[in-house]
A = this chain, B = another copy of it.
Amino acid sequence: MTIPSTKELLQTMQEAAENLSKNDRRDFLRKGVSYLAGAAAVGSAGAASGASFSTNLPPNEPIWGRQLGSGVVANPYGEPSHFEEHVVRRTVPWLTAESISSISMSPIQNLQGIITPNGLVFERYHAGVPSINPDEHRLMIHGLVDNPLIFTMEDLMRFPSVSEIKFIECPANGGMEWRGPQMEALQFTHGMLSCCEWTGVPLKVLLEEAGIQPEGKWILAEGADGAHMSRSIPIEKILDDTLVVYAQNGEMLRPEQGYPLRLLNPGWEGNTSIKWLRRIEVGDMPWHHREETSKYTDLMADGRARRFTFVQECNSVITSPCPENPIKKPGFIEIEGLAWTGRGKIKGVDVSFDGGVNWQPAQLKGLVLDKALTRFSFQTKWSGQPWLLQSRAYDETGYVQPTLAQLREQRGVNSIYHKNSIHTWQVQPTGEVKNVQVT
């Protein structure tokens, strides 16, 4: 990596070091002296150093350095620190009438890297989270197949498995903002988005065992929950990369993610990745069920509706700064964000500071994987000037993330789904960040 000039960043730390008295400083620098004692400014950093430990702990030794912590047995399945209690999925109370048919959003403003920990993966369900006994759960494959089949979980887990890091996104992500900015938090503008390592069996392997008949062109996937959510998927997607998934980030699926079994259509509308999967039917045409007619369609300006708009097109957002992560002081800043595309790999991301007039290339960092979240970074300095911060991603197919104006021109403002336009954060001279619209 390139090392930025971060002298500004160090000012505060230098000041803290200055606060040490000269005597303290001498002790501080002389190797072998036991304690950096008495200097309030060094607080918890005061520590035994050099070759020998003393049992006389200094008065500024923090409490956690002077006592034993909690033991290993008490905590068989780990939890986050209670200091991180604010890092949770959140709902928008007015968005849905009932909690059993609602959404909770990932705190992507607090997340690092590309993996979303299982406890923070966004939720969307239509009849609450069922509690399914995996020993009793079955997956049936039937319809236009030579051999209808019924699988137990044990059957499925005997097949050779594959593990892949893929994002999953609700097509309604950002959907509240077709007519203009409405949500004052990144968690609510873009939090219906997560990325895990998923493990399962390619659905095509199971369908080859069943034997798809020549007329079989679509499948219907159906859930075992009270909503029996179902979607029609064209066979081309199945033969490409659809998985029948039982694990996420190493462990079995979480209940709200479809335990014990779900579909995963990488890069496609999250709702097509049917959770609590119990049935795959092969047919010769789509089923036109509720969740692909009255819901999950895109009402255009002329009153017609786009249907079967499966792909989550290329999108990106800056996660730091953002409304929840204001800029706290002038100086060096790493502008960071996430980019993703349902069509493959992210090729690049540009960043603008003036609402899209001028653009500069950001750096992709870490793993750049097919249909996975990809981090980008732009290192610069902030001196208190106002910014209209934007990111614009493009993918390996050449697709470039559109402006909101471009998207509206094509699709009007009646849609809920597939709003992947360039997002704007207004950075104010105070460092606060607002969700604004640039026309």
Contact = CB atoms under 8 A, between A and B. Distances in A.
Contact of A197 (B115, B224, B252, B288): B115
A56 interface: no
A104 B76 CA distance: 8
Contacts of A91: 72-73
Given A68-B127, A75-B256, A160-B4, A43 B136 contact: yes
Contacts of A67: 226
Interface in A330-350: 332-334, 336
Contact of A252 (B1, B14, B84): B84
Contact of A129 (B66, B70, B165, B198): B70
Nearest to A66: B226
A3 interface: yes
B114 A117 contact: no
A366 B162 contact: yes
Q: How large is the interface on A (under 10, 10 to 19, 20 to 34, 35 or more residues)?
A: 35 or more
Interface string A224-248: 1110100000000000000000110
A143 B31 contact: yes
A78 B194 CA distance: 14
A91 B76 CA distance: 9
Nearest to A99: B71
Contacts of A83: 133-134, 259-260
A81 interface: yes
Interface in A246-291: 246-247, 249-256, 259-260, 276, 278-279, 281, 283, 287-289
Interface string A381-397: 00000000000000000
A163 B366 contact: yes
A47 interface: yes
B136 A9 contact: no
A428 interface: no
A155 to B, nearest CB: 6
Contact of A74 (B43, B99, B155, B334): B99
Interface string A126-151: 01111111101111101110011111
Interface stretch (A173-181, A201-209, A354-362, A411-419): A201-209
Interface stretch (A105-113, A400-408, A431-439): A105-113
Interface string A1-30: 101101001101110110000000000110
B13 A158 contact: no
Contact of A148 (B28, B208, B334): B28
Contacts of A104: 72-73, 76
A-B interface, 4 closest residue pairs, ranked by CB to CB distance from nearest = A69-B128, A71-B99, A113-B163, A45-B140
Interface of A: 1, 3-4, 6, 9-10, 12-14, 16-17, 28-29, 31, 36, 41-45, 47-51, 53, 62, 64-84, 87-91, 98-100, 102-104, 110-121, 123, 125, 127-134, 136-140, 142-144, 147-152, 154-155, 158-165, 197-199, 202, 205, 208-209, 220, 222, 224-226, 228, 246-247, 249-256, 259-260, 276, 278-279, 281, 283, 287-289, 328, 332-334, 336, 365-367, 375, 377, 379
